[in-house]
Each structure stands twice: as structure tokens, then as C-alpha cells.
Amino acid sequence: MSDPGDAAVSPGSGDGRVVVDLRGIRKEFPGVVACDDANLTVRAGTIHALLGENGAGKTSLVNVLGGVYLPDDGEIWVHGRQRQFHSPADAIAAGIGMVHQEFRLVPTLTVFENVVLGSAPRYLDMGQIIERVAHLAATYSLQTDPSRPVWQLSVGERQRVEILKALWRDADVLVLDEPTAVLTPAEAADLGLTLRSMADRGRSVIYISHKLDEVLSVCDEATVLRNGVTVAQPRSLAGIDRSDLAEMMVGEAAAEIQRPTDQPSGDVVLALEGVSALSDRGLPALHSVDIDVRAGEIVGVAGVSGNGQRELAEAIAGLRPTTAGTMQLEEADITGASPRARSRAGLAYVPEDRLGVGLAPTMSVVDNAVVRSYRSMRRRMMLDLRRCEDFCRRLVERFGVQVGRVHEPVSALSGGNLQRLLLGRELTGEPKVLVAAQPTRGLDVAGIAAIQSQIVAQRAAGVGVLLISEDLDELLALSDRLIVMYEGEVAARMDPTQVTRAEVGAAMAGTAQA
Amino acid sequence: MSEDAVIGLLVATVQFATLVYLAGLGELIAERSGVLNLGVEGMMAMGAVTGFMAAIATGRPWVGFAVAALVGMATAGVHAVVSVIMGAGQVVSGLAITIGGLGFAAFIGQDAVRERADAVFTDLGIIGLADIPWAGPILFDQPPVVYLAGVLGVAAWFVLSRTRLGLALRAVGESASTTDSVGHSVTLLRTSAVLVGGAFAGAAGSFLSLYMAAGWTEGLIAGRGWIAVALVIFGAWRPGRLAAGSLLFGFTLALQPRVQTFDLTIFGLEVNTISPALLGILPFLLTVVVLIAISFRARHRPSPAPAALTLPYRREER
């Protein structure tokens, strides 16, 4: 958030009345305890931060409050009354408004239709409803055009529609799950103002985040979760700084990512020249991008999500047609080549969407392991199943994938194991270039460490790595060179050993010169 | 070619259009809620035979029409239970309705085949208008079901685009989880839509047995249910375009049995040499053309097809 300071000490207009009180919540999923004795106390007129690392149980806890999950144990108190939420509708009726990480919007419907869906008047008087939605939006300075279809909106606008949905239902508790993850800094600042104006009107906001500076500038109070347990509940954030919060979240000092030792880099193995491509919506997403990756180096790509990183990865993988420019892998021109041709030329690709694009969820571990190299496991016209299984077992062992049976569907695996399997599959056959998009997102600490050490090992083995990530610490620690994407262009090229986080942040916001 | 023959063709066009419009409107409602029901043909057969038998038994065509709607609804209920409530594959369930419905209708209608219908719908003959040349017989001297279909079309448009129920129905066809998250019951919405769709199909079937054919024989529906399914795609899931499409499809259906009697030459082509079988595939050909057009247009914008069509919904999947 670009506007620190003022909000950190203001107590909001709340009278200290407790609006939401979650006591001893426990929620278990097969094999995972998401919440275990989690407590959350939110007062009227405050913005309450819910902090914790990935997998600390923040999302599960608010989903219990939102009626999405039924808790296995514990009590939900709202406005001093104990409640049982059997469905999201129950929670909505109690005044809980949820803005999930994945928006719950219907793209083909208009903004106002999305806003009123579920609590519309019996007859839809268009003029009147549009006017009321516009008035509500203006009250909380949420800029939007009520009659535009949602599919035409930017991510930031969609988030405003989600907030409007909650306000339309007169929610007095608004829950936002990592709201700024998808926003530009300017949009994030606007969101901060909107939330403050809600708190000033006596509503409460539960703000899930792990961006500590943002929490300090926006929030009044905080609850910190660690491994599903509430470990701290500071009533005021005044006098608390980043490192205090970080310590509460992590417990002990977080393991520093080891910077790989310097090594001379080799020849250029991947060369992009003037590459342009369109987004899913047919708008320009990449404008004449030049990137070189040399053998034995890691080139990091930073940027706020939605600035062309996904399109860049897909264009290199051959999953998205380019509209201009050339791509070269070692000596070969791969500009118009099929994904298979690129893979044979030595390209390994770990997509952002690991269970969907990367792996086929309902297929078995074996089948997923061999889809890239099954051609070498044929016996005449048939697949040699024993060789497939052997191949899979070796892969599982080498990359430390924890599986029950190799014939069970991969959807049963945890995120970390999915990623180990996917990375392992892509790294068989000694690739020349590895393109990894968000390879550690959403993984636990052990998973992150395993994936990062594999990437470093590939670098040592002379592979050219393009690492696209939203985790700045990871990029700064692992990259030999850093590229910042902004609105589909390379906004800056930096030396990760010479820049500060703030400088990278400024480039991500489009305020630094390339 | 005589004036009477042209008027006869256009009168029949309106009636065939009504037939496929009624069934198509029901299918449109079901599909907008996200449920594909390929059982239209079977539901129409069930409606046709039971409506006919009820009309004979009571002597009242409207009783037959109402029974047909109820039986169509009950037949659709099987689809609703299997595909909406139990979440099984909609395509398989729908095909089962068509195959089973056709067979069951033939079975219970064995004795009705020989019956002569005296309790059938008669033309309404709107006073003062029915005598207008051309427009009179084509528009104002039709059976009441024709006008009812028009009223139902306007009503369906109004409900879909101007009411809370319609908004929820359109939303559940696009994204069931979103609709669930704002407190609408996915199961209730989809089940109701499928049942209403079945009622429309059953009623359409009885329009065949109680007016157009004025009798029941096995094979009476003759693929018109499938034309209704194609019509929904052709009409891009909108009631208004559905009406336009039904007139076009109705025209080819009306032309089919008559084409060989027409003594007419267009651009050097003698119309009576056109094969009726070729005309029969025209609605499907047009539907494919529309599908291709949609796929060209749909690159940068959402397809007009409901996004959640054929996708079952289960809550709390992580």
C-alpha cells in the first residue's frame, strides 16, 4: 500500500463491540488439519488483519465463517448470538460478506445483475436497480459501470463488483481473502480507502494477507495463525513493526533461501526477439518482448500478476500463438513450432496451473509421469506398461514424490507432491531450457525448498532457467538476472544482487524507467 | 402454382413453427439453467400419446393438452433425478429418456392407434380478422395452441430477462457455484427448469396428436424433438431468436411433404425436383452453420451457450 502511516494508529469509529467471535474452530480435511483451535475476535468499525503463512489455515477459517465449510468443532458467534451456518446463504443472512480469492462472478451477466443476484427484488426494474447500484458504488468510492458485462472488466473492477455484492446485502462484516494479490499498487491504495470508509461507517473488515507492510498501513487489529492455531491477537497494531509480525507468523526466524554460488554462464539457449501475443480476451498482452537466457543461469521474471507473465510462459511453450517476433532455442527457430517439437528441441515447461494444464487430474500417477516420454516406452504398437511403471517409480524416488499407489489419480496428491512430479517429468530427457511459472506458489515450506533446490540443480547442470514468480524474495535470492514485466513489456532489467525490494516494487508498478 | 397452395404452405409453416417452438422453448429453459435434456423426442412422444388418450376419454382436447404437459413433466422428472439430483451424465440420461420414451409411448399407445380423434383442437377463427385474404387463414384462423405458444414465448422472455427467478436461472446455467454462494438452491432451480421444459415438450407432442395429425401412430414425432434441440442452438439460447428460427425450421418442415407438388421454377431450378429428404436435413445443416459462426465470433467474447451446460454440481469440493 502506498499510503502508510495514518491508518495504523487510528482506532476506527468502532465502539469496541464484538461483531464476530470464532472460538476454538477445528476443521479437518482428509490428511490435513486446516484449523485446530483457531480463534478470531472482530470488533465493529475496525479493519482486522488475519495473518499467517501459506497453509496456516486463514482461508479455511474464514470459509467456516462464510458458511462454506462446516467446522468439526468450535463455536461461531455473530452479534452476540451463537450460530450454525449450514450454507453460504446462512452466513449472508447473518451479515457476513465474502470476497474469495477466485471471484464468484458470472462473466456473461452485467455488473448490476451480479451485484443483485441472490437478493434481487422479484421484478427487475432495470433503471431503478442500476441507479441504486451506482449510488451504492459512489458512496464507497467504488468506480464501476453497472450495466457493463463482467467479462469486459479488469481484475480490479471485478473485485469492486464483489465488494458491491456484499454491500448490497448490507453485510456488516466484509471478508477479503488476499485482496491485493491481483491488484496494482494504485488499485490497492484505492481499496484501502474504500475499506476505511466502510469501517468509518461502523462496518468491520476481515483482511487476509501475508503482505506485512500493507497490513500495518491498512489494519487496526490483527489475528495471527500458525499451523491452524491462533498464536497472537494484538488489539492494536500501533508500535508493532514488520519483524514483530513476521516473527509471530513464522515462529522462529524463517529459513533464508540460499543464494546459488556464482558460476560463469554459457551460450544463449533461449532467445526471444520482439515477441508479441494476445490475451484470452484478444487484447494485446505482450508487446515486443526481448529476453535472452544463457546456459547455466536463472533469469527471474517479476511483475504484478496479469502483466503478461502467463502469456509469456504460454508463448514460449507453444500454447499461445505469437503475433510478432521470433523465438530461438539453441540453434533451432521454434517460433511457430508445436509444443511437442519444442519439447523435443529441449524445452521443459512447468505451467502455472499445475493440476489442469500441467497434469491430468483424473489420470494416474504413472500415466501423468509418462505423457511426455511414452513414445520411448513402446513395444511395437503397444505401451510397455512395466517400463512405464519402472520409469514412474524411478521418477518418484528421484524427486521425492510422496505417493500411495502409482495407479491412483494424481488429484489425490498434495500441492507439493504434484509439483515434484510435474517438475520431475519435465526434467527427464535433459532439457536445455526450463520455463517455470509460479513453481512454488501455494506450497508448504518443505515443498518450496525441494522445488527451489531442483531449480538450482538444473542451473548447475547447465540448463537455462526462466523463473516466473510473484515471490520477490525467491526471485531476488535465486536469479542471476531479473526482468520486471509491466503491461506486457519488459519494464526493467536488474541485477538482483544490486537492487532493493523497493526498486523492484517501483518497476512492477510501472514507475521506474527501463 | 396456385394461391391456395402457397397459403396452405404458410398455414402449415406457422403450425410446424409452433410445434418446434413450444418444445424448443422448454429445452431453452432447461439449458439456460445448465441442463441439457436430449430427451425432447421421448417426452414429446409420451405427451402425444397420453394427451390423445386423455382427450378421447374425456372428449376435451384441453384436458388432453394438460395431461400431456403433466406427463411430459413426469418424464422430465426422471432426467432431473438422474442428472441434477444424482449428478450423472446429462447426455446419457437424456438419450435414455428419448429411447425409453419412444418405446414406452408405442407400448401404451397400441390401442390408441386405431382410434379416430373427434376431440381435437379446432381453428379459432378470430372474428373479423379470419376473413382477411392471406393474413386471415395464416395468422387469424389457427388453433389456440398457436396463440398460446406466442404468449408463452413472451412470458419466458419476460421471466428470464426481467425477474429475480430468471436472473437466478441464467446465473445457475453460467456458474452453479456462484449461484450457490449467493444463496440460491442449484438443485431446486435446475430441477424446476427441467420439469418446465418437460411440460413444454409434452404439450408440444400433444399438439401433433390433437391437431396436426389428429391421431396417434408410432413414429408420429418423426425427429421433430431433435429439431427442437437443434433450434435452441440455432436461436443462440434466446427466446426471440428461437421464434425466428422456428419459423425458418417450420417452413422447411411444411415444405417437405409439399415440395414435389409445386410447379415452380426458381433460377432455372424446378422446385419439384428437390428431394424432400434433402429438405429434411436443412434444419440441422443450418444449425451447424450457426455453430461455426458462433465459434468464429466467440474468440474474444463468451459463447452464447450457457457456460455450465452439462456440468453437474456438487458442493464442498476442495
Kindly write down the DSSP assignment for every residue of A173-241, as one continuous string. EEEEESGGGGS-HHHHHHHHHHHHHHHHTT-EEEEEE--HHHHHHH-SEEEEEETTEEEE--S--TT--
Same domain, A162 and A177: no
Which residues from chain A sit within 8 angstroms of residue B180, using beta carbons? 87-88
To 5 degrees, how large is the angle CA A465–CA A468–CA A472? Answer: 115
Q: CATH assignment of B3-297?
A: 1.10.3470
With an 8 Å Cβ cutoff, are A106 and B180 in contact?
no
Same domain, A34 and A180: yes
Comparing alpha-carbon positions, the chain A residue that sits nearest to B172 is A106
Nearest to B168 among A117, A151, A281 (CB): A117
The pLDDT value recorded for residue A143 is 87
Q: Looking at residues B12-33, what average pLDDT do you find?
A: 97
With an 8 Å Cβ cutoff, are B164 and A69 in contact?
no
- Best mutation target, A117, A162, A165, A167, to test chain B (most B CBs within 10 A): A117
Nearest to B181 among A104, A122, A151 (CB): A104
* CB-based contact A433:A390 (threshold 8 Å): no
Kindly report the nearest CA distance between residue B237 and chain A, in angstroms.
Answer: 13
With an 8 Å Cβ cutoff, are B302 and A124 in contact?
no
Q: What is the pLDDT of residues A158-196, one digit of tens each?
A: 999 999 999 999 999 999 988 887 777 778 889 999 999
With an 8 Å Cβ cutoff, are B183 and A282 in contact?
no
pLDDT < 50: residue spans in chain A:
1-14, 253-254, 513-514
The pLDDT value recorded for residue A176 is 94
Same domain, A137 and A3: no
- Best mutation target, B162, B167, B174, B315, to test chain A (most A CBs within 10 A): B167
Q: What is the pLDDT of residues B79-108, one digit of tens each?
A: 999 999 999 999 999 999 999 999 999 999
Nearest to A109 among B165, B174, B180 (CB): B174
Size of interface A-B (CB pairs under 8 A): 81
Same domain, A314 and A419: yes
Comparing alpha-carbon positions, the chain B residue that sits nearest to A90 is B183
Helix (H) or strand (E) holding A111: helix A111-116
Which residues from chain B sit within 8 angstroms of residue A108, using beta carbons? 170, 174, 302, 307
Same domain, A80 and A132: no
Residue A195 lies in a domain: no
Whats the size of chain B, residue-wise?
318
Which residues from chain B sit within 8 angstroms of residue A89, using beta carbons? 182-183
Q: State in Å, rounded, how far the first CA of chain B is from the last one.
A: 67
The pLDDT value recorded for residue A182 is 74
Mean of all residue pLDDT scores within chain B: 91
Please report which confidence band the pLDDT of residue B230 belongs to, taking 50, 70 and 90 as the band edges. very high
Chain B interface includes A471 (CB < 8 A):
no
Comparing alpha-carbon positions, the chain A residue that sits nearest to B163 is A123
User: Could you say which DSSP state residue A319 is in?
Assistant: S
If phi over 0 gives left and psi between -120 and 50 gives alpha, with beta otherwise, what is residue A202? Answer: left
Which residues from chain A sit within 8 angstroms of residue B177, using beta carbons? 104
Assembly ipTM: 0.89
Same domain, A381 and A489: yes
> For A487-491, B107-111, B277-281, which range has the lowest pLDDT when averaged over its residues?
B277-281
Q: Which residues pair with A75 in a beta bridge?
A: A23
The pLDDT value recorded for residue A251 is 65
Smallest CA-to-CA distance from B193 within B102, B73, B312, B308 is with: B73
Q: At what angle do helices B144-162 and B186-207 cross, to 10 degrees?
A: 160
Residue A513 lies in a domain: no
- Best mutation target, B157, B158, B181, B188, to test chain A (most A CBs within 10 A): B181
Smallest CA-to-CA distance from B85 within B201, B202, B198, B189 is with: B189
- A175's CB contacts (< 8 A; 6+ apart) are A62, A65, A66, A96, A97, A98, A99, A205, A206, A208
Into how many domains does chain A fold? 3
Helix (H) or strand (E) holding B6: helix B3-32
Q: What residues make up the domain containing A150?
A: 102-171
The strand pair at A173-177 and A204-209 is best described as parallel
Helix (H) or strand (E) holding B269: strand B269-270
SS (H, E, C) A28-74: EECCEEEEEEEEEEEECCCEEEEECCCCCCHHHHHHHHCCCCCCCEE
Same domain, A454 and A380: yes
Give me the CATH number covering residue A208.
3.40.50.300
Which residues from chain A sit within 8 angstroms of residue B238, using beta carbons? none
Nearest to B302 among A104, A107, A117 (CB): A107
Residue A341 lies in a domain: yes
The strand pair at A268-278 and A322-329 is best described as antiparallel
With an 8 Å Cβ cutoff, are B181 and A123 in contact?
no
- Best mutation target, A72, A100, A108, to test chain B (most B CBs within 10 A): A108
Same domain, A316 and A284: yes
The strand pair at A298-302 and A481-486 is best described as parallel
d(CA B93, CA A342): 42
Chain A interface includes B277 (CB < 8 A):
no
Does the pLDDT of residue B318 top 50, yes or no? no
Chain B interface includes A461 (CB < 8 A):
no
- Best mutation target, B182, B297, B300, to test chain A (most A CBs within 10 A): B182
Chain B interface includes A236 (CB < 8 A):
no
Which residues from chain A sit within 8 angstroms of residue B178, using beta carbons? 104-106, 117
Same domain, A288 and A395: yes
Which residues from chain B sit within 8 angstroms of residue A86, using beta carbons? none
Chain A interface includes B301 (CB < 8 A):
yes
Same domain, A486 and A390: yes
Interface of B with A in 154-183 (CB under 8 A): 161-168, 170-171, 174-175, 177-183
Chain B interface includes A32 (CB < 8 A):
no
% pLDDT > 70, chain B: 97
Chain A interface includes B314 (CB < 8 A):
no
The pLDDT value recorded for residue A189 is 87
With an 8 Å Cβ cutoff, are A108 and B179 in contact?
no
Chain B interface includes A151 (CB < 8 A):
yes
Comparing alpha-carbon positions, the chain B residue that sits nearest to A283 is B300
Chain B interface includes A99 (CB < 8 A):
no
Residue A376 lies in a domain: yes
Which residues from chain A sit within 8 angstroms of residue B313, using beta carbons? none
Chain B interface includes A107 (CB < 8 A):
yes
Kindly report the nearest CA distance between residue B170 and chain A, in angstroms.
Answer: 8
Please report which confidence band the pLDDT of residue B228 belongs to, taking 50, 70 and 90 as the band edges. very high
d(CA B287, CA B293): 10
Residue A514 lies in a domain: no
Same domain, A298 and A445: yes
With an 8 Å Cβ cutoff, are B183 and A93 in contact?
yes
Kindly report the nearest CA distance between residue B32 and chain A, in angstroms.
Answer: 12
Which residues from chain A sit within 8 angstroms of residue B296, using beta carbons? none
Residue A149 lies in a domain: yes
The pLDDT value recorded for residue A345 is 93
With an 8 Å Cβ cutoff, are A120 and B183 in contact?
no
Kindly report the nearest CA distance between residue B5 and chain A, in angstroms.
Answer: 46
The pLDDT value recorded for residue B265 is 84
Same domain, A240 and A285: no
With an 8 Å Cβ cutoff, are B183 and A118 in contact?
yes
Residue A252 lies in a domain: no
d(CA A2, CA A214): 8
Kindly report the nearest CA distance between residue A443 and chain B, in angstroms.
Answer: 16
Q: Looking at residues B131-150, what average pLDDT do you find?
A: 91
* CB-based contact A290:A272 (threshold 8 Å): yes
The pLDDT value recorded for residue A161 is 95
